[in-house]
Structure 1
């Protein structure tokens, strides 16, 4: 008997919109679009949902898979039961590292419904874990389903705000639905012939609540615009920080990271793996010149310590943290900073430091999450710059004498041909001077033959 392949199995049905309460889908779609988060209306175990709004592509790929969908059963699959049993908002983190919530909603008479919301990464570390699982782990069979086509990032507070707005929208929707039959009954009877003029129209509770809902939606739209700009910035981040010139790459990494973290000062150090030391490559707001900053050894100072542990350091107040304050000559405005290890393939290849937040406030874990989001792009650009530097170094080694640093015969042959051709093209005379250095053998004997 042949084993049935993953592709031959039918995908699991995700949505039953025909069973959703009339009129609810547009309300849910607007809330999801404005918040930048996912929302799903469910009436039992999920999938399928009744209405799906802006689903996370990772969730869609997982729950559509006949082989891997069961991984979600203890989480979103069971979210309906947990929401109905508690009668309130239930927060949970699923196996994919996504932060979610579930809550009951009263939007249809005689039906017990709930909404699953969020499905967002609140930590860059969780995102890196799922990427590794997709690339070479237990989820690699999902790559053909484009699981990373719509990945959602958020802060925990955004999920709480969406849950509050969802409750308000559900109450508003329930109120409008409950008033519809009464309003239709009032329209049915014909007025008597001697009826006077109708009273002046008044603003109904329905109109007032609709106005409140519109204000909520307008506020959410403004937040969505900010989120869209941030998402667009992330999508083009790698492109902005990459260059054929390594020094331009270092400067771009530092400038974009500084702007993202609202830092007045920042520095980028790269690991010299041969010496196991850190070399300053770029700095902003520093009092000393880059060339004046000495190399930092493994375990030395803040950056050297981060290099040694491979773990980020977030300090709200350097004195409260029991660390020695920076020298007064450096003139830092605040006592808070982040020292972040740039890692790729399990190796630390650089350290990014930011301090002096423009607002004067302290750095915290939310700022660290921003760095973790851009961390993979920064690491890739930094490694490329390192390869470019090494290639330039190898090219330089091929045309210079390693003992004296003087240009060698290979360089002479390349440049001599160029100059001869230039002389012929522009028809001007060319001179060639050869100098013999006496007793150079003693220099070689003293300093070593190469």
Structure 2
């Protein structure tokens, strides 16, 4: 007759020996450890946000990302209407004329500024603008010529962050010299910028212009192709640019010593004409340009690294689980948790060290520390040197493999997929002769000596 004591004892022994329950408990521990893994990802985002706020603070004092619109000519004109009392009233509206041709050349001088642990990419660019305007005929404008105030025509240049202007802007227009002043007549094309009166305009000929712009900015430079034919050439000593916006360069050359890029954009490539009234068209969607990239973005790499945390937990726990099966030595759930915490601390260690040194060196030091700790702990709890060496080899292979994947951004997916397939094949091969039904009933020893 089975007593209650025997029933409890048999149940306890079954729980200790059951492979199914062990797998479920290990799976539960992995899910439990996803909580601190999520907290680590939150820590990375918090540090990245802190970095971004410091970069913004530096940029505000030097010059933010710059968007240059123009130049363009703004001409006021009057429209007349009768009010409710029958009296004639007038409104002042603006006609915008875009250049027929625009040639921009520039040399960008980048530098990296540091504050505390963080760095910001800044630049100074010296641009030269040359081109000409062709005034449309009055029949094209569909405006009474008497109502157009040609003597109030302004040549304007949109600059998104005026604090970045480093020198006066002297505009040569039709042979005359004009000093640019802050402010625009209207915000139809740009929110901020400089302008100057230029008159008289040559109604039946070309109105040529040229000027230089000395401008500070940070990370991003964008240009808006307002001319009928736009040519832009920019060179810099920065080795890692990212070309973005509505148009990519027609040609470019990027080396370790810097880059040069050449854009050619026609009016047919954008969705607005060469002249219009008021704010009928929006020009910002046609902007193009470049961004200066920091190749050693530790937070981006740390974010990618943290995505592999669950994979490392699974593989490390699997190694300990198979050790239980092969060596018949039980590993307590608390010991699994301690090993899992060591795996997760690797990611915070990489993050903290990479803020003070090269990311690759931080990765290697962190991997060495965690690998040695887990291998030593495995030797202590299982009392098997061969198993400890197996854990050491497994973690070395995993961390080395992950390091290679991080370096090969474009091939990370295929490398990850192939790696997982190889690991699965190895596990299947090593466990092919295990009789899981026999293991389920075989007695096991306690892993603690």
Same fold flag (TM > 0.5): no
Give 1 or 2 for the bigger CA radius of gyration: 2
- Kindly indicate which of the two structures has a greater share of residues assigned to helix: 1
Tell me the TM-score normalized by structure 1: 0.22
- Kindly indicate which of the two structures has a greater share of residues assigned to strand: 2
Tell me the TM-score normalized by structure 2: 0.22
Q: Relative contact order: is structure 1 or structure 2 higher (C-alpha 8 Å, sep ≥ 6)?
A: 2
